Amino acid sequence: MAVEHILACAFASLAVSIDLADDDEIDPDVATDLVEPVAALFRDVPAEDRAALAALLRECAELETDPVRQRSMLALPEDIGLLDEDGDGDGDEG
């Protein structure tokens, strides 16, 4: 597995764990403080790279065996702003 794939899966796993944590386990403000700077960093990269990262995150979701975590992981690219309005992250229509 390439290092980029490992890092994408590690980020996805961490982000999903934060997302699925109960409010008494992780304060929602703290959760936002943890994820938002990373999401902002991802939004600043070119559309082609955002699309590639979204694809890596979908691959990570396919490896997830827990259905709840998998659904959350599949939603992650959109949740962190990697996808453009057409949903693929490349900035093209369709």
pLDDT of residue 60: 96
What is the value of pTM for the model shown? 0.81
Contact at 8 Å (CB) between 60 and 9?
Answer: yes
Instruction: Report the distance separating Cα 51 and Cα 46, nearest Å.
Output: 9
The answer on pLDDT for 50 being more than 60 is yes
> Quick one: pLDDT at residue 83?
86
Please state, for a pLDDT cut of 90, what percent of the chain lies above it.
73
